Structure 1
Amino acid sequence: MAVNVRDVAALAAVSVGTVSNVMNHPDKVSAVTVARVQDAIKSLGFVRNDAARQLRAGHSTSLGLVVLDAGNPFFAELAKGAENRAMEEGFTVLVGNSDEKPEREALYLDLFEEQRVHGVLIAPFGDAMPRLEQLKARGTPAVVVDRAVDHPGFSSVSVDDEAGGYLAAQHLLSTGRRRLAFVGGPMPLRQVTDRLGGAQRGVAEVEGASIEVVETDSLTVRAGREAGEEISRRSAVDRPDAIFAANDLLAMGLLQALMKNSTAAVPRDIALIGYDDIAFAEAAVVPLSSIRQPSELIGYTAVQLLLREAESGPDYVHEHVRFQPELIVRESTGGRIF
């Protein structure tokens, strides 16, 4: 049978109210009594029902975070930043992985609402705004991360992905490459389409340059490997001489496939650049050039905005923080070829 607060009170020879004060307001209890109650808790192995306590208090000390891919180091760093800021204010972060599936995203939003979390951070797949509006109407604030939103009722923290795509294409073109390929997907992801749009803008500025789109079903190493194998099977004249991968995991898969098939060397035959600048990018066999996002800072800032909104009234003016990406050049894009 589970130990309850009455058992602790009986062993410590105090009232249930005193046990509650020791756990929640120890400053109201003498040091001797606190020690006696804590000894009883330890002796009985008592674990308090925090969910019930939060329900009675009407608020939670937990925040919900829904990410697109928990296996992507970018989101691991984002979650780390969110946890660091949350812990500074006495909150914890519960992480849900949508795995780029709308139905899983919806399940986690339902779960977090049922758990009465203090607020939700979400990197959405597709258009999640109608569901977030429901959350807000029922008292749960939300902040969108890793994507800018135009909705006046929600704050967001993002990186200018269009500018990042432009930086990537501009860098590849500056080395003399002219037949570019963009590898990424699925296209419902706003981050993917923005990065592609920026790259297309950069290519349009250079006469004789072109860019093809190789769409993938996910932003994973596996998807990158499959795209790389398809490109490797092409003849030299049909292959791109540069590839911009929508993220570093795709770039890692592309690099593996190109090295395995030995038909096109990186960067001699194909320059390769990724996006995110995860730790693995620098450690690759051919260190990857990448577009860096301040992943940890995105999570940290998002929690700041979420807590600020939760503590404000209905007249709160929502904020849209957009960081600028940074070009990181490594061996995978090589030097100039002309």
Structure 2
Amino acid sequence: MAFIHDVLQAPSYGWKNADGELSKPTTKQILKEFFSRLNIIKCKKNWLSFTSWVMVLCLAPFLLLFIFKYFTLKGLAIAFVYSMIVMGTHGTIWYHRYCTHRAYKFKNNFWRFVTQNLTLKIIPEEIYAISHHVHHALSDTPGDPYNAEGGFLYCFLADVNHQPVNRNLSEKHFDRCVTLMKHTGVTTNSYKQYQKWGSVANPLQMIIGVIANWAFWFTVFYLLGGMGLACAIFGAAGVWAVGVRTFNYEGHGKGKDKRRDGIDFNRNDMSINQLWPGIVAGEWHNNHHLYPKSARSGFKAYQVDAAWYYIKFMSMIGAVSHYHDSKKEFLKNYVDKQTVVAQPVYCPVTGKEVFAS
């Protein structure tokens, strides 16, 4: 477990307090940590967190232009669908089920590239995937990078304060990080480059990838609907980028036990199934924690799972060569009831056969 405990850069306030319990920082401590880790002048190893938030800020002007210059009800509807459903579902498909859990496998790199770039690229794979392995290993315990017991800001700013890779990894542990990332197609640093930049991902290659992705999609949206459509969708993507940072706080009951019998079957952590994230993004979170490597987490009839529909479609056309689906196992272990067949027995009092209860 040493790798899991050490792979992320611990915040200045630490993961645990003197009693071994979760260290719960004050708002001031969280904000101080946040701005310190965004300071690329002080330390260029902060480049990945800095770039991640700069991308969000770059989308803000598009949102303002849409609101004050290009606003239409049609544009608002498109923005809503794109941010809530398209971006949300893609996050589940790419970052969650593929980058972290490898719940399915692409036939070749072409289809991986297509899936990776289905939407605007905003979240660096490294920040999401490596820390999410830690989240599952240490869920709702000290060391979980977005432990809901730490409070809203603890989770909301976790991508900067808690999720970056440790800058002092041994070469052996760095190689393990590379192994966790190599299937994603992200260009990784050598160990020497990592010591310089403090990240697994290569800065130049990642930034070029983002610029190319944004340029492609801006061109597509502009050709389809002009500046109004481009601003609506780019602005919506920025809204999603901020909103998604609230998910794990909500998805783990805001630090309280909100699990419900017959709905949330995983009892190893505080994850819960929520109707809205499930419907718009296929993120049935308690189901996912129960079977993290499953390409489907919408197991019950009402649990819509658009991310699974995409993966299944890709499998049908040959773009996905393999996937894990834990639905049958879930139904068998948690839903289906075993029928006890009553056997007739002889009753000496009545002289007749009766069924034992």
* TM-score, length-scaled by structure 2: 0.25
**Which gives a bigger RCO, structure 1 or 2 (Cα 8 Å, sep 6+)?**
2
Highest CA radius of gyration, 1 or 2? 1
| Larger fraction in helix | 2
* TM-score, length-scaled by structure 1: 0.26
